Chains A and B, each alone.
Chain A
Amino acid sequence: MSVPSPSPNTSVPTSPLTVIVATDCGSTTTKAILIEKVGNEYRQTYRGEAPTTVEAPFEDVTRGVLNAIAEIEELSGRKILDGDNIITPCRDPKTGVDIYISTSSAGGGLQMMVTGVVQNMTGESAQRCALGAGAIVIDVLASNDGRLPHEKIERIRTMRPDMILMSGGTDGGAVTHVVEMAEYISAAEPRPRFGATYKLPLIYAGNKDAQPQVRKILGEKAALVLTDNIRPVLERENLAPARNKIHDLFLEHVMQQAPGYKKLIEMAGAPIMPTPAAVGLIMETIAKREHLNLIGVDIGGATTDVFSVFEGLFNRTVSANLGMSYSISNVLAEAGLSNIMRWVPFTIDEQTLRNRIKNKMVRPTTIPQTLDELQIEHAIAREAIRLALIHHKSLATALKGVQQERTISDVFEQQQSGMTLIDMLKLDLIVGSGGILSHAPRRVQSMLMMVDAYEPLGVTRLSVDSIFMMPHLGVLSTIDEQAATDVFVRDCMVYLGTCIAPIGQGKDGDRCADYVITFPDGREDRGHLSFGDLRLVPLASGQKASITVQPAKQVNLGAGAGIPITREVEGGVVGLLLDGRGRPLQLPPDRDARVTSLKKWYQAVDLYPKA
């Protein structure tokens, strides 16, 4: 380790925290929030934001941080800044904060290259490890990835990652392939993205028997760190040690090269976390605390992150080029025009639409000003979220290559190893975050965007992050879990309601299901849901109701075709969404019929103001 790491501010108060200021330094905006203890609970009280200042002409991330905190100062009347310093700890009820904490994804976040021996075994484990640590994985190299040796070397040469994670082999297994990969990396002499003169951080987390050879080959050429094997045996992943090393090296090496980060690290009272790692941490905490299976999506301007926790297993993926501004044009390229247009309730010629999307790409900070522009952006968001989930499903899998014990009862139901862990029928909660979901003019718009993109099955609750504060709460949870939980429950999560979506298909107007909703005051709402219906039933936040659904003979709500279910469902700012459009969701192929259906659905849930 050639670069000494500045220690975070050592003035961390030992007494309980009462006032906390937290920032998230994003690619374009630095968002600051103030958290205060009000009575016995913590609340998020003020927020401020300012453009991120990593780039020229400022080239100092702390300028943006200080500007965002200055906005909080103005709004709250609390004096937090003393020149360019944050006043810690609190001096009196109106001066200072007890701690300052931050996350960061500025400058393109943490970009990593990972290597393994077998692509869908150690290659995938390494990928999951890096993604879980909050990185964007720019390539996965493996001995069997189909590329010839010289192609691999050429690829490593041309990439400029912030860090490399090497894995491969189980402990005690053959060393040849992993040593071969080390030789390729050594020959390629990879260079880091930032800073021409420092050594690229490289973590080796493969077969421990190959450590001496790897040290010999790469010890001089990279800032090499050896850690436990991420796949010590085929049947088990051990991602935590390598993930911790990634976080350490992120702070010690990568962030040292980014403008102003040395100062930022010194200002902060806890280690700076990569934004997605902090969001993942808070999602994992909620899921474990409430014993939920959940999917979280954070759709940003450049990337879409998907997090899932199923049966306690956490996974994260990042779709690096699916986003609503910088990468909006790539959503069009990947989804195709027809997939986007299927959500738009009017017609528009292709050339105009393509030019509009490109104009958003080159001027990413603009916002829709007319209703039709808003509807087009919502259509694009549906496709970005849908594609990101497909990507997530492909990586959030059980371990591949593991032998399975089978019994005679499995004869007719044999499954391959490495099946996706995402089971939409077992999904309890969908959490949405990111500008397009958090700031949609009507909350029902966020709900329908997620329902259309994810097609939840059976009974699923939905929520959004009110003002995008999950990163702040993620890092806060590392130092004060109570404060993070209080703010998360009271100020961050906005419960939208619950979606009830029967599985099956039928002609529009055919019976899909009958339902009885029993409200807390004893009132009953009985109704028939036909195929093609979308219905909204008000049920306020904090209220619970009981719903019994009798599906039609060929329709399933999770208990089996035609079998009724009774569930307690929770309300939200939108309510209960009864979705009779069928699963899988199929839109009419004919353009006029599709526009008619979309208009009918959108009116049924009062999605947009009347034009």
Chain B
Amino acid sequence: MAHSYTPGLTVTEQTVIHRRRILSLPGIVLVTTGEIVRANQVVARAELPGKVYPLNLANLLGVAPDEIHEYVIKKAGDPVNKDEILAENKPLIKWFKTEILSPVTGTVESVSSVTGQVLLREPPRLLELLGYVDGRIVEVIPQQGAVVETNCSLVQGIFGIGGETRGEIVIAVTSPDEAVSSRHITSGMKGKVVVGGSFISSDALARAKEVGVAGLVIGGIHDKDLRALLGYDLGVAITGTEQVGFSLILTEGFGTIPMAGKTFKLLSAHAGQPASISGATQIRAGVIRPEIIIPRAAGTSIDHGATGIPRREGIRIGDQVRIIRDPLFGKIGEVSGLPSDLQKIPTESDVRVMEVRFEDGSKTVIPRTNIELIEGA
């Protein structure tokens, strides 16, 4: 298998990315191709049909379903106000009169003579879709949305929670192997994207929430702290809708793992600049990884010759890799050998392996599936 390695996470100083901004239901696109947009600008809008309220008029009036048309005052499609009369009977004695009032303001969706049911719908709710990143519209998809292109620095994380947000980058620690504790989180970090080192403690997470940081970018976290933060044990890595007060992005994984030097250096170089981040992760069928996008200054020309993330054909000697499985989880080295024959590992499985050399000159043999290429070099 020529492809038996995990494509890595991108950490790159300069790239051009496209983000599709698509409404979840058809609506109006508010931008045009070539237009410059800001991250917080509305690019498309849709009307989400209002909530539906069923009301069984036949039961409420004590009549047969096929008789309700004789009692309803409002027809399908009519507007209705809260507490307005929807249906009423006409008894001979006024005392026995029953009036059915609308529980909501909206419209009458349907009146059924089979079930005796009336469906009322509340007014539609406006859904606004933001640009998410500063950039230029390169494609408009009628009724659905647009594609934003931006020239930026990009860091992909391995896992995250929480949706899209923005803020100025602030570095909380002095080195990538320093853990973030509550003393590192200051009130000045409100609304900012805080970058830490190898780990964040549960009290620091609580402090970040209290201060109101926009996002946290950290090397690792303990599973038990994530569970406490979410209030449940996350079973499947499909995230992005959590509301814990901030978006959290892990760059390395679970446990105490120093942030890759390259990632830390890149983010440090952009301290003070605004970034768009998203914690949304979907590992199955889609491979959406969390991301930190730092747009380059407006007016910076886009080098279309080197756009996008280069597509790799395979791994080569000299490539920088990260080991992503115990017992050497998190270690970074360089590929020094790619034997083609299968080799037996301690579990007795015969697998494709590679030789990795570490900074201190030591070497080890690792299954190819247990490394991750550090891309965007």
Contact = CB atoms under 8 A, between A and B. Distances in A.
Contact of B119 (A187, A191, A197, A361): A187
A135 B231 CA distance: 31
B341 interface: no
A356 interface: yes
Interface string A39-83: 000000000011100110100000000010001000000000000
B67 to A, nearest CB: 14
Interface residues of A, number: 65
A365 B6 contact: yes
Given A150-B51, A367-B325, A367-B370, A329 B234 contact: yes
B296 interface: no
Given A197-B26, A367-B349, A369-B325, A329 B370 contact: no
Interface stretch (B78-86, B203-211, B283-291, B331-339): B283-291
A596 interface: no
B328 to A, nearest CB: 9
A359 B329 contact: yes
B367 A367 contact: yes
Contacts of A558: none
B347 A153 contact: no
A369 B326 contact: yes
Contact of B233 (A55, A213, A333, A364): A333
Given A332-B233, A369-B367, A363 B6 contact: yes
B109 interface: yes
B236 A326 contact: yes
B358 interface: no
B2 to A, nearest CB: 8
A50 B3 contact: yes
A363 B372 contact: yes
Interface in A234-248: none
Interface in A291-343: 301-302, 321, 326-327, 329-330, 332-334
A145 to B, nearest CB: 15
Interface size class of B (residues with CB under 8 A): 35 or more
Contacts of B325: 359, 363, 366-369, 373
A327 B286 contact: no
Nearest to A216: B114
Interface string A408-452: 000000000000000000000000000000010110000000000
Given A187-B109, A326-B284, A367-B351, A362 B159 contact: yes
B255 A355 contact: yes
B228 interface: no
A213 B113 CA distance: 11
A369 B25 contact: no
A522 interface: no
B121 A609 contact: no
B366 A369 contact: yes
Interface stretch (A6-14, A165-173, A178-186, A265-273): A178-186
A136 B158 CA distance: 27
Interface string B341-356: 0000111110100000
A138 B49 CA distance: 23
A599 interface: no
Interface string B245-270: 00000100111000000000000000
B237 A361 contact: yes
B183 interface: no
Contacts of A91: none
Contacts of B236: 302, 321, 326-327, 329-330, 361
Contacts of A361: 236-237, 283
B91 to A, nearest CB: 26
B117 interface: yes
Given A196-B25, A370-B346, A439-B349, A329 B372 contact: no
Interface in B259-305: 281, 283-287
Contacts of B54: 149-150, 153, 183-184, 187
Interface string B93-125: 000000000000000011010110101010000
A366 B370 contact: yes
Contacts of A439: 349
A188 interface: yes
A354 B224 contact: yes
A196 B6 contact: no
Contact of B114 (A175, A196, A321, A359): A175
B327 interface: yes
B292 to A, nearest CB: 17
Contacts of B115: 176, 179-180, 183
B71 interface: no
B144 interface: yes
Contacts of B370: 366-367, 369
Given A329-B233, A369-B326, 14 more contacts: A149-B54, A180-B115, A187-B52, A187-B54, A302-B236, A351-B224, A355-B255, A359-B324, A363-B6, A366-B325, A366-B369, A369-B325, A373-B347, A374-B347
